Amino acid sequence: MTQGEVSTKAGTTGSAAPATKVAELSFFFPAHNEEANLEALVEEALATLPLLADKYEIIAVDDGSKDRTPAMADELASRHPEVFRVVHHPTNLGYGAALRSGFRASRYDLIAFIDGDRQFKVIDVGRLTERMAAADSPDVVVGYRLKRADPPIRRWYARIYRLANRIFFGVQVRDIDCACKLFKRPALEPITVSSGGAFFTAELLIKLRFEGRRIAQVGVPHYSRTAGSPTGAKPSVVFRAVHDFWSLRFRLWVSRSDGMCRGEKMLG
């Protein structure tokens, strides 16, 4: 497989720790008004990550939450200061901005994230680390939802979005907005991303592909949200993603070098 290609590996529906652990792992999640999910997710991460990594850190990015998320996150961090930290946004900056803060706060050479809504299990990050350890040594491992537990309208949006990214950017990723991804730090170092919204991860994968980085895929289970309210299908979120999509596409058409350099650095 040459650089820039995408490989896919099917996953099973069960969840288990990988056969071997990685040396170090940064794990983060964005959270906007997730008071009903936060403590359970942190406790799950504390119980699970020792199975996946010899050394790990957990980072919560509070994206301007208006509920008890900020206070709860700070209290949890005070209980587990050796492994858990919180990044606060005073106002809601958007999904992409929260991810950027998570990447910048991460210290280790492997960086994984899931969303704060508990639609993924922390143990399934092990599927990603196991795939990254394969002989082809991908730079990025992207999860794809084996059975998407979302309403039909969101699945319809996702199909159109996936097709658009394939047609206009050549990204052969079957679930581009799946919030379960793993990255090698060196692959991120030259990358800049403009979007601060829902297009962030797509722009990141597009630029990684254009940089010739190897992207692999592996199936992960997906679970229904049991608490909190989703925001991904809000018209303002969709409009921002569409705007960022076409902004990048036109910039790359006009000047690929300018389009690739536009935006903020991924890592601090």
Give per-residue pLDDT as tens, 2-58: 556 667 665 555 677 787 899 999 999 999 999 999 999 999 999 999 999 999 999
- Distance between CA 176 and CA 256 in Å, rounded? 22
Q: Is residue 244 part of a domain?
A: yes
- Distance between CA 220 and CA 71 in Å, rounded? 31
The model carries a pTM of 0.92
Read off the amino acid at residue 40: A
Give per-residue pLDDT as tens, 169-184: 999 999 999 999 999 9
Q: Looking at residues 215-229, what average pLDDT do you find? A: 87
Give per-residue pLDDT as tens, 198-209: 999 999 999 999
CB contact at 8 A, 33 and 62 = no
Query: DSSP class of residue 221?
Result: -
CB contact at 8 A, 61 and 38 = no
Q: Is 213 helix (H, G, I), strand (E, B) or coil?
A: coil
Number of structural domains found in the chain: 1
Q: Is residue 11 part of a domain?
A: no
Q: Is residue 12 part of a domain?
A: no
The per-residue pLDDT for 152 is: 82
Q: Is residue 5 part of a domain?
A: no
C-alpha distance from residue 73 to each of 41, 125, 201, 205 (Å): 11, 22, 24, 29
Q: Is 103 helix (H, G, I), strand (E, B) or coil?
A: helix
Q: Is residue 8 part of a domain?
A: no
The per-residue pLDDT for 225 is: 78
| CATH number of the domain residue 243 falls in | 3.90.550.10
Q: Is residue 9 part of a domain?
A: no
Structural domain that includes position 75: 19-265
Q: Is residue 251 part of a domain?
A: yes
Give per-residue pLDDT as tens, 126-184: 999 999 999 999 999 999 999 887 878 878 888 899 999 999 999 999 999 999 999 99
Of 174, 193, 214, residue with least CA distance to 259: 193
The per-residue pLDDT for 228 is: 60
**Which residues sit opposite 217 in a β-bridge?**
8, 142
Here the tokens at position 8 are 């896919």
